[in-house]
Structure 1
Amino acid sequence: MFFIANVSPRSTGKTTNSAWMSHALHERGRKVIGFDADDSRQFSRWQAAGTYPFVVQQAATSAFHMNVPQMIPAGFEDGIGVVDVGHLEDHKGVGASVLRLADLAVINLPPSMNDVERMEELPTKEFIQDTAPLRPDSQPPATWVLLCKAPTGVNEIKQVREYLEDEGYNVFTTVVPSVVKYMRTHEGSDIQAKGSVFDELVTEMEERGLLP
């Protein structure tokens, strides 16, 4: 299974992004399983209360890398697992365990310098890189920043993007705006990803060769 880990140092809308990303991948014909690696269990609650066409497994444990391979159903070995990871500031053990399996780490980041500073205080890049010796290939997962919860028409988006790229980060061109369509995602929400920004994100991932 190919694992996408949605990470961040603190609350950034990861559950919303995980839910929409999973739907977008499913609507492209991908086999998808969601993994809830956050003690809040929000992702799995949303799935249980809604009409998701895929399951979400609860897996908020520092033994994620050992337990989850046993949770993959037969026939899903070539699928995609989207992981909603708890805040790295408070759940370092869980985050490190998820990153031992992750093929793609997506740093979910609002485009503000305050959030960039918070990311660097952890520091997030080094946290991901430090998992390399624990991985089979001794290399960190491919890592990309997804700018999200972005106000429209704000120059700071450009400023943050340029800063991150100067610091050596890969940054998706796709930006998730702070709009009602995404902000009001909750338990029981009916998600149709076609035509959404997450549909665009999956296209970008495919074009960049980030997906199997």
Structure 2
Amino acid sequence: MAEYAARKPRIVVGISGASGAMIGVRLLAALRRLGTHETHMIVSQSGALTAAQELALTRSDLDGMADVVHNVRDIGAAVASGSFLTEGMVIAPCSMKTLAGIANGFADNLLTRAADVMLKERRRLVLVARETPLNLAHLRNMTLATEMGAIVMPPVPAFYARPKTIEDVVDHTVGRILDLFAIEHREIAKRWSGLGDAMATRRDDEGAQQ
């Protein structure tokens, strides 16, 4: 019992084959820095290819970012069972194919099976859906997933934070994901604190540019 009580809470991070691999990578990096959760990672084959193309990361690079790595084809992995306790799961980015599998209960690999477990156990499931424009199938699958309890969270930039780099834009999404799991963080995402503070920041920025 003491060993169970000392264990860190677990969170599952999936990376599927949509553009935006940086979101999942920076989420894993943030969770490692915070040190509050044990991370379990599942990367689809397409997700690994996208990470290589967008970030020049090898599969070994990706594997080194998580505490535990599960093979997407290992349908018998621990995270495939509801008896394996976790705080929930994030798929970042979530492709439309993965969204469709989750929305329609088509758990044909560990990524979609683990997501299915989150839904049946009523645990938090955050889908960072990455596609635009959206067709009717995308929208209907988002509705189905939401009705089952998932949170569909497209990575929409927050320009009120006045991002200066791609990393700033991505980190805002990472911070909002952490918020959804009530994971305390600082300096990852700038929070809105009112129009007065926003105007003061704008004046400071303009003064620095002059």
Decide which structure has greater helix share: 2
Q: Give the TM-score normalised by the residue count of structure 2.
A: 0.48
Report the structure number with the largest CA radius of gyration. Answer: 2
Normalised by the length of structure 1, the TM-score is 0.48
Query: Looking at both structures, which has the greater relative contact order when contacts are Cα pairs under 8 Å and sequence separation is at least 6?
Result: 1
